[in-house]
Amino acid sequence: MNKNEEQYRILKQIVHTFYHNSNEKEKKVQSKVNNLTVEPKLIYDTFNKTLRADFKIGDTQLYKIKNLPEFFERMLNHDDYKYGNKLEFVHTKDAFKEECRPLLDFVLKYAEIIKYANETVGSYSKYMRTMSNEHITISNTGLDEIFDVLKNQKISFKINTEDYEVLFADNNPNIIFTIEQEKNGDYVITPNIDVFSYEILNGKEYLYLLTNTALYRCDKEFENKTLKLLNIYRENYTPSIRFKSEEFPNFCSLIYPKLKKEISLDKLDTAIIDKYIPDDLYVKIYLDYDENNYITADLRFVYGDTEFNPLKKVEVKIARDFAKENEYLDVLVDTGFMLDTEKARLVLADDEKIYNFLTKDIEEYMKTFEILATDNFNNKEIRRPKIGSIGVKIENNLLEVNLSNIEFDIEEVQNIMKKYTLRKKFHRLKDGSFLNLEENETMDFISGLIESEDISYEEIKNGEFKLPISRSMYLDKILQNIDADITKDEDYKKIVNQVSKKEFDDDIELPKRIKI
């Protein structure tokens, strides 16, 4: 082969690489098979508390995937591979039924993890354990993921040595604790489940309860109530909990109100229920201000037709939900309310806590309690500092500015500005009401005037002040950022308009009544 022929041979190599090979690959990828299934089997070891999954694939006959990393490689390379007499196919996702592809994605994700984890171990395998190629050990995250794929399906599940069909149920198990009274007067609480027949599995985001019929994905309420109660049975190795009749009132006041949904009273006499089971607790709070401008809260607990002040030492002859009462009292204490024992009421004395209560907490209170406020309380609402209208005119060769419809005590403007400069959230006026100082254009306007050093607080208090003509543009600039009804006379507007048009030459025409 001469030199020229050698050069032409290179072109043939390119054609072979990019044409023939691509055609071969295209043929290789094409497959008439499109009905393969992926079938999982989960195995749970109750002793070691481990969960793993095996997988089979196929159509008329299923074959176990014995080497997950190799299966991943075949899918990656679109290999044509024969598993047995009844299964040979090109490894593409299209070869599988559409409903099986989410599970296939799960298998491929963890098969890839196994492959690269074991390759990383490499020559250190004598000293480090490799992951099994035959199955996927289900981690906390993996449990959440495989449940998402299999929920509402019945899946083959092996628990120790026994095989079951387990429903992946996206709901809490229906576990009820029934209370009944025995002939000797004792009370017994029994769950409708064998407390030793289930397993608890932890996902990353969820908790699961496994029986031989279902794997339940449980919510936080189940975890914090039903499961905690079940754990007490387990910890004490007992299928039921027994207590004496004299303890029943405490059970009704302290335990039952928190577990109403979980505990059934169907086997109790109605007379016992009426006597000991409390009605729903309803709370009224009467709000007012005292002579110190502290918030006062008069509290009333209501059970049916009975209403009383829980802060007074009075005998109330009804069944009470003490757990709920304490929960509501804690809400008030967390807000900052303190007990006034003399008047049997609660008092909120700290200005910042009062402000937080009025701006944030009261909204939550209104969702939980009935709030009844006096006119005195309602009149001291939180306001934003605002100047209703501003007038600007030129008089005696000066800018004359008038402020009116001021919605705060102008006498306190200096103290208000001190708080605003320090980036305080509020200022409390002498009448006990609050000014919200957060991001306020009125305060920015007054701050701009004071910083210009042309006027004093005393002038602002008078609601009228004067500025030199030279401050016209500065005044106009800070007026642009305030939400107020602004009135400008024609002379002032003419100066601003001409200067804004950059007519800075000697021919600028000022109003005749203005002297320079």
Radius of gyration of the chain (CA): 40
Answer yes or no: is pLDDT of 434 > 90: no
Closest to 494 (Cα-Cα) out of 468, 513, 479, 481? 513
Range 478-501 average pLDDT = 82
Range 391-406 average pLDDT = 84
| Residue 200, burial from CB neighbour count under 10 angstroms (0-12, 13-18, 19+) | middle
The angle formed by the CA atoms of residues 9, 11 and 15, to the nearest 5 degrees, is 115
Report the pLDDT value the prediction gives residue 491, as an integer from 0 to 100. 84
Q: How far apart are CA 219 and CA 206, in angstroms?
A: 7
Per DSSP bridges, beta strands 177-181 and 434-436 are unpaired
Q: Which one has a higher pLDDT value, 493 or 514?
A: 493
> Which sequence spans correspond to the domains of the chain?
1-28, 37-138, 174-276, 281-378, 383-500
Q: Which one has a higher pLDDT value, 93 or 464?
A: 93
Q: How far apart are CA 179 and CA 495, in angstroms?
A: 88
* Residue pLDDT, tens place only, 307-353: 999 999 888 888 889 889 999 999 999 999 999 999 999 999 999 99
Range 239-251 average pLDDT = 93
Residue 186: strand, helix, or coil = coil
b/e map of 6-26 (b: 16 or more CB within 10 Å)? eeeeeeeeeeeeeeeeeeeee
Residue 31 near residue 87, CB atoms below 8 Å: no
Residue 193 near residue 175, CB atoms below 8 Å: yes
Q: Which of 180-194, 219-233, 387-401 has the lowest mean pLDDT?
A: 387-401
Tell me what percent of the residues of the chain surpass a pLDDT of 90.
Answer: 55
Answer yes or no: is pLDDT of 22 > 60: no
Band (216; pLDDT cuts 50, 70, 90): very high
Q: How far apart are CA 298 and CA 308, in angstroms?
A: 11
Indicate the average pLDDT of the chain.
86
Per DSSP bridges, beta strands 187-191 and 199-202 are unpaired
Q: How far apart are CA 163 and CA 310, in angstroms?
A: 58
Answer yes or no: is pLDDT of 33 > 50: yes
Q: How far apart are CA 36 and CA 34, in angstroms?
A: 6
Q: How far apart are CA 310 and CA 306, in angstroms?
A: 12
For residue 384 the two structure tokens come to 């934003």
Report the pLDDT value the prediction gives residue 175, as an integer from 0 to 100. 96
Report the pLDDT value the prediction gives residue 426, as an integer from 0 to 100. 84
Report the pLDDT value the prediction gives residue 10, as an integer from 0 to 100. 66
Q: What is the 3-state secondary structure (H, E, C) of 121-162?
A: HHHHHHCCCCCCCCCEECCHHHHHHHHHHHCCCEEEEEECCE
Per DSSP bridges, beta strands 281-289 and 370-373 are parallel
Answer yes or no: is pLDDT of 57 > 50: yes
Report the pLDDT value the prediction gives residue 411, as an integer from 0 to 100. 78
Tell me what percent of the residues of the chain surpass a pLDDT of 70.
Answer: 88
Answer yes or no: is pLDDT of 512 > 70: no
Band (19; pLDDT cuts 50, 70, 90): low
For residue 287 the two structure tokens come to 């709000």
pTM value is 0.66
Report the pLDDT value the prediction gives residue 323, as an integer from 0 to 100. 87
* Residue pLDDT, tens place only, 257-279: 889 899 999 999 988 888 888 99
> Residue 257, Cα to own-chain centre: how many angstroms?
26
Report the pLDDT value the prediction gives residue 508, as an integer from 0 to 100. 46
Amino acid at 288: D
Report the pLDDT value the prediction gives residue 516, as an integer from 0 to 100. 47
Answer yes or no: is pLDDT of 284 > 80: yes
Report the pLDDT value the prediction gives residue 30, as an integer from 0 to 100. 53
Residue 170 near residue 178, CB atoms below 8 Å: no
* Residue pLDDT, tens place only, 410-432: 777 888 888 888 888 888 888 88
The partner residues of 181 in beta bridges, in order of sequence, read 187
Report the pLDDT value the prediction gives residue 409, as an integer from 0 to 100. 72
Residue 169 near residue 216, CB atoms below 8 Å: yes
Q: Which one has a higher pLDDT value, 482 or 365?
A: 365
Helix residue ranges, H only, 258-412: 270-276, 322-335, 351-356, 362-368, 375-379
Q: Which is it for the CA torsion 278, 279, 283, 284, positive or negative?
A: negative
Band (385; pLDDT cuts 50, 70, 90): confident
Measuring CA to CA, how many Å separate 444 from each of 124, 436, 473? 69, 13, 17
Question: Which DSSP letter does residue 469 get?
Answer: G
Q: CA 275, 281, 284, 290: dihedral to nearest 10 degrees? A: 90
Q: How far apart are CA 47 and CA 18, in angstroms?
A: 57
Range 197-217 average pLDDT = 96
* Residue pLDDT, tens place only, 123-149: 555 555 678 899 999 999 999 999 999
